[in-house]
Chain A
Amino acid sequence: MTTSKTDILQGTLDMLVMRAVADEPLHGYALVDRLRIVSGDRLQIPQGSLYPALHRLEYQGFLKSEWGPTKTGREAKFYRLTAKGRKQLEAEVADWKELAKAISLVLRTA
């Protein structure tokens, strides 16, 4: 397990989840792995929050789920991004970049 645990900022979990399933459908467990690996072990998603987030995003229509076989042949629930979700993701990413830029500017000058 990773030791460098970064708390995920409030509100960014949804964005990360959407980004993770943007390229290909993933089930919840794979999603945790994916984020951990992509972030170079820096991000540890609180697993207790992951499933409520997935359900919430599906309820909002940003994700769509489907039961399907995994590589090992078991049945798992796969989530993929909907068109509406993709738009939402783009908007959130843009907002995030703006915010990050602003914060780094502040940090540089202060």
Chain B
Amino acid sequence: MSWIGRLLGRKRLEDSLDRELQFHLDSRVEDLQRAGISPDEAMRRARLELGGVEQVKERARDARGTRFVEEWWSDTRYALRAMSRAPTFTAAVVVTLALGIGATTAVWSLIDALLIRSLPVERPEDLHALRRVGNEDGTYRVSYPMLQRLQAAAPTGVLLSGMSATVRMYASTGAQPEGVIAQLVSGDWFSLLGVRPVAGRLMTRADDETLGNHPVAVVSDWYVQRRLGGDRSIVGKTIRLNGASFTIIGVTEPGFTGLSVGTAIDIWIPTQMQHVVRYASNVSTSNADNRQPWVPQEGIAWLTVVTRMSADAARAAAEPLDRTFRLAVQDQSRTLDSARAVYAMREHLVPEPFARGFSPLRQQYADSLKALLASVVMLLLIACGNVAGLLMARSAARSHELAVRVSLGARPGRLVRQMLTESLTLALIGGAAGVLVARWGSNTLLRLASGSTAAIPLSVPVDAKMLLFALGASLLTGLLFGLAPAIRVHGISLHDAFKAGGRVLGRAGHRLPLGRVLVVVQLALSLLLMMTAGLFVQTFQNLVGIDAGYERERVLSARIDLSAGGYTSDRLSSLQQRLLDAVRAVPGVQSASLSLTGVAGGSMRISGFAVPGRVLPADDNNGQENVVTPEFFETVGISLIAGRPFGDADRFGAPRVAIISEATAKHFFGTRDVLGARFGYGSPPEFEVVGLVRNARVNNIRETPRRLIFYPLAQRPDEYVTSVEVRTAQRAETVALAVKAAIASVDASIPVREITTLGKLLERGLIRERLVARLGSAFGIVALLLAGIGLYGVISYSVSRRMSEMGVRLALGASPGRVAEVVLRDALLTVAIGLAFGALLSLPAMELVEKLLWGITPHDSRTLVGAITALLVVGSVAGLIPALRAARVDPVEAIRAE
């Protein structure tokens, strides 16, 4: 019989063993009786010779080799029975654990999705991206001619493929255009990645050869599922992208959404089609005209180069690629002035592992998620402490039962194992429930993190890795909180347990020190969590409180896309005027303006400048440009310090003017006295400064104010503005719909992406801080409560054990107040020790979150004092309740019970 069969045939074997031993005893008794011994005596002797039927059975079972599993099974059943007998206790423990394990798993699975998981492509470890390093902000972008040069220089067999940044475009297959995420890629991009089509075919090199000549598009399965309800018959149909027609040639396999984690691509088109769809994001230009097609231009860097080669091959290829890159850069820098040439020559090109793809989310959330994981693990530890306390109290209450079992021959090790089985069973049930919590929690977290109604398209599947993590967390948890009661079992003394007449007494003077230790640890960890919560909340408040340099609540910003409407540059001016007129006519609107990039909207254009008579460092000569209508400053609330705003005189053909911010003035001219000063892209300097405005944080609230440069839209009539700013008399939200309608009344085909206040846009940049502050506070409060409950449990347990002592004290004349004081002092001493440890621990621990803080030091004393005060208050309450109970003890009752 096999081992498992033996286990399954357990019942039969047990019967057989019974009968076998019975037969032995019967035979022996018969023999003895035949020898003239009385039946009773014969039975006694037979048993004596055999040496205890149960012991023999036990050893025979051992010999069968299935005993461990048998006992484990019976332990588990015993544990389940014990749990069903105490449903409230069980429910409390399971819910606590489910929340703890679930929250930990949720945060972990986000970390996995964002920071650990590789791209869903063939052999992701072989993917590399070429990165330009040497200057402080490394970049991946190169020009198309550079890509071709690198392809030629690459070792044979090594493919190099280019891809643009991901960009929002407007697509229509029928009526209404809708926003999609698009990317421009080289023809061999898909074959390099090893992505296969699920319908149709993917692009090849032949689809990306001549400028403007390849109106083909590949869509992702994600797009087909989400927008077309899974209808793959879209292959062969036409789709309009930003006004241009493309033929859909294929659909990528499910699961592949591009190389940017957290950004799912809907549609890919060839790089040669850049100017056709007017792709214009993420670009650095020098000596180039970005209104002309980008593909042939040397000075426009817009493509990230990805390649597939083993780590060894990458090392070997690095040198020739870098040499090619630098030769070309050297060649081009002859036309640059010396300062820029020096800047350019500092650069090198290096292959960088790319197995996990790009992730703006990763950069943004890595530290926060790690901090949250640490917090949630601490929370789990605190919860473990409470569960351990509960189990310990229960095992203390059961010490009589356990003593009986020991005296009946159970080995202490066996009892320890049983206690552990109970804890592990509890933990596993909690863990199973935790997986559900995790599933819900990670989606909620993602929604919170994405900050808008549309969740970030990041799949956080319930996969083997996540289940394994949950299982590991459950087992560890079970061991952690199960160990304490198990240790206690080991210490059971039969003598004491029975001496107390079945009542719980424990060892003399034994004050549950293990419980104390647990509570001290809980308090210390709670202090850490309270501190981080306080720091995160203050960071958020600090950030919200920063003066942005403009009005937030009464200014709306509407994001529009004129290029999607198919407007050509010659029709732009009149369209812009009609837009302004329509919006101004909306009741409640005080003023309105148009601008190239808007405020707090996330897009920016940065250019390098020259100032006559001043030497600006080549790598620090840039400013952030915006092109605006005259009322922009008045509308947004950026105040003018000197000079004048733009006016009607600043029209096309008139002398070119600019308004600059304080930061620009200081850096470019070293003075605030800048009216009439000149600067430009080269020489002669094109622009005359006519106004100076206050600094403004136009990109996000935490930046140091950028160097801002504004131009009048009238002097750059072919710019496609993307933002309408509206200043309102009353609450902005009420006007938003009317503004949207006004824009649509000018031309219904102009997509309005969103319309919201500048304040809301700014807060979007603080999603991370808000998320961390909210979750951090939640964790802190839960930790505070758990620690309070833990302390309450330990103190009230010790009070119940010291009832008679209290009775004696009272009988001897101690006042109830004095008795309460003894208990309370005991509680507060425990709190003090815990807080002292916590404060010590906080010194190194808070350093770890420093990166996430703003405007506050990690060792902020007010925060520390605040956290300590909160814990002291909770600790006092937790100690006061049992203290009052102790004071109300009836001395006669207490002493009689002894």
Q: A residues touching B (Cβ–Cβ < 8 Å)? A: 27-29, 46-49, 51-56, 59, 67, 74-77
- Taking CB atoms, residues of chain A closer than 8 Å to B28 are 29
- Taking CB atoms, residues of chain B closer than 8 Å to A48 are 50-52, 55-56, 59
Q: A46-B51, A51-B56 are in contact. Are A77 and B64 (CB under 8 A)?
A: no
Q: Can you offer 14 A-B residue contacts whose CB atoms are under 8 A?
A: A27-B23, A29-B28, A48-B59, A51-B24, A51-B59, A52-B60, A52-B62, A54-B60, A55-B17, A55-B60, A56-B63, A59-B65, A75-B23, A76-B23
Whether A28 contacts B60 by the Cβ 8 Å rule is: no
Complex Cα distance A75/B318, Å? 85
- Taking CB atoms, residues of chain A closer than 8 Å to B62 are 52
- Taking CB atoms, residues of chain B closer than 8 Å to A54 are 60
Complex Cα distance A75/B23, Å? 8
B19 interface hit (Cβ, 8 Å) = yes
Whether B49 contacts A47 by the Cβ 8 Å rule is: yes
Whether A47 contacts B50 by the Cβ 8 Å rule is: yes
B401 interface hit (Cβ, 8 Å) = no
Complex Cα distance A30/B17, Å? 17
Complex Cα distance A78/B246, Å? 87
A64 to chain B, nearest CB (A): 11
Which 3 pairs, one residue from A and one from B, show the smallest C-beta to C-beta distance? A48-B51, A56-B63, A52-B59
Complex Cα distance A83/B27, Å? 30
What is the count of residue pairs linking A and B with beta-carbon distances less than 8 angstroms? Answer: 54
- Taking CB atoms, residues of chain A closer than 8 Å to B24 are 28-29, 47, 51
Q: B residues touching A (Cβ–Cβ < 8 Å)? A: 16-17, 19-21, 23-24, 26-28, 49-52, 55-56, 59-60, 62-65
Whether A77 contacts B23 by the Cβ 8 Å rule is: yes
What residue in chain B is nearest A31 (Cβ atoms)? B24
Q: A75-B19, A77-B19 are in contact. Are A47 and B51 (CB under 8 A)?
A: yes
Complex Cα distance A51/B59, Å? 8
What residue in chain B is nearest A28 (Cβ atoms)? B24
A20 to chain B, nearest CB (A): 15
- Taking CB atoms, residues of chain B closer than 8 Å to A51 are 17, 20-21, 24, 56, 59-60
Q: A47-B51, A48-B55, A48-B56 are in contact. Are A74 and B64 (CB under 8 A)?
A: no
B68 to chain A, nearest CB (A): 14
A37 to chain B, nearest CB (A): 13
- Taking CB atoms, residues of chain B closer than 8 Å to A67 are 16
- Taking CB atoms, residues of chain A closer than 8 Å to B65 are 59
Complex Cα distance A59/B26, Å? 26
Complex Cα distance A94/B804, Å? 71
- Taking CB atoms, residues of chain B closer than 8 Å to A28 are 20, 23-24
Most chain B CB within 10 A, of A29, A67, A74, A75, is at A29
Determine chain A's interface SS by DSSP, over half rule.
helix
What residue in chain B is nearest A46 (Cβ atoms)? B51
- Taking CB atoms, residues of chain B closer than 8 Å to A55 are 17, 60, 63-64
- Taking CB atoms, residues of chain B closer than 8 Å to A75 are 19, 23
B48 to chain A, nearest CB (A): 10
B639 to chain A, nearest CB (A): 92
- Taking CB atoms, residues of chain A closer than 8 Å to B17 are 51, 55
What residue in chain A is nearest B27 (Cβ atoms)? A29
Whether A77 contacts B16 by the Cβ 8 Å rule is: yes
Whether B63 contacts A59 by the Cβ 8 Å rule is: yes
B32 to chain A, nearest CB (A): 10
Complex Cα distance A46/B26, Å? 17
Complex Cα distance A95/B27, Å? 35
Q: A29-B24, A29-B27, A59-B65 are in contact. Are A52 and B56 (CB under 8 A)?
A: yes
- Taking CB atoms, residues of chain B closer than 8 Å to A29 are 23-24, 27-28
Whether B63 contacts A52 by the Cβ 8 Å rule is: yes
Complex Cα distance A46/B51, Å? 9
What residue in chain A is nearest B49 (Cβ atoms)? A47
Complex Cα distance A77/B16, Å? 8
A76 to chain B, nearest CB (A): 5
Complex Cα distance A54/B50, Å? 14
B55 to chain A, nearest CB (A): 7
B54 to chain A, nearest CB (A): 11
B261 to chain A, nearest CB (A): 55
Complex Cα distance A53/B19, Å? 17
- Taking CB atoms, residues of chain B closer than 8 Å to A59 are 63-65
Complex Cα distance A49/B51, Å? 9
Complex Cα distance A51/B18, Å? 11
B409 to chain A, nearest CB (A): 14
What residue in chain A is nearest B32 (Cβ atoms)? A1
A63 to chain B, nearest CB (A): 11
Complex Cα distance A97/B192, Å? 75
Complex Cα distance A48/B60, Å? 10
- Taking CB atoms, residues of chain B closer than 8 Å to A53 are 63
Q: Given known contacts A51-B17, A77-B23, what 10 new A-B pairs fall within 8 Å (CB)?
A: A28-B20, A47-B24, A48-B50, A48-B59, A51-B24, A52-B56, A52-B62, A53-B63, A59-B63, A76-B20
Complex Cα distance A46/B20, Å? 16
- Taking CB atoms, residues of chain A closer than 8 Å to B26 are 74
Complex Cα distance A27/B27, Å? 11
Most chain A CB within 10 A, of B16, B23, B28, is at B23
Complex Cα distance A52/B52, Å? 13
Complex Cα distance A93/B65, Å? 26
B15 to chain A, nearest CB (A): 11
Complex Cα distance A75/B50, Å? 20
A59 to chain B, nearest CB (A): 6
Complex Cα distance A59/B60, Å? 10
Complex Cα distance A52/B50, Å? 12
Most chain A CB within 10 A, of B16, B21, B60, is at B60
A68 to chain B, nearest CB (A): 12
Complex Cα distance A56/B19, Å? 18
Complex Cα distance A47/B31, Å? 15
Complex Cα distance A48/B54, Å? 10
What residue in chain A is nearest B28 (Cβ atoms)? A29
B44 to chain A, nearest CB (A): 14
A11 to chain B, nearest CB (A): 15
Most chain B CB within 10 A, of A47, A54, A75, is at A47
Complex Cα distance A28/B56, Å? 13
- Taking CB atoms, residues of chain A closer than 8 Å to B16 are 67, 77
Complex Cα distance A28/B28, Å? 11
- Taking CB atoms, residues of chain B closer than 8 Å to A56 are 63
A1 to chain B, nearest CB (A): 9
B830 to chain A, nearest CB (A): 51
Whether B23 contacts A74 by the Cβ 8 Å rule is: yes
Q: A52-B63, A55-B63 are in contact. Are A77 and B20 (CB under 8 A)?
A: yes
Complex Cα distance A48/B62, Å? 13
- Taking CB atoms, residues of chain A closer than 8 Å to B60 are 51-52, 54-55
Complex Cα distance A55/B17, Å? 10
Complex Cα distance A80/B86, Å? 51
Complex Cα distance A85/B52, Å? 29
What residue in chain B is nearest A27 (Cβ atoms)? B23
- Taking CB atoms, residues of chain B closer than 8 Å to A47 are 24, 49-51
Complex Cα distance A47/B24, Å? 10
Complex Cα distance A29/B16, Å? 15
- Taking CB atoms, residues of chain A closer than 8 Å to B52 are 48
- Taking CB atoms, residues of chain A closer than 8 Å to B63 are 52-53, 55-56, 59
Complex Cα distance A29/B62, Å? 21
Most chain A CB within 10 A, of B20, B28, B51, B62, is at B20
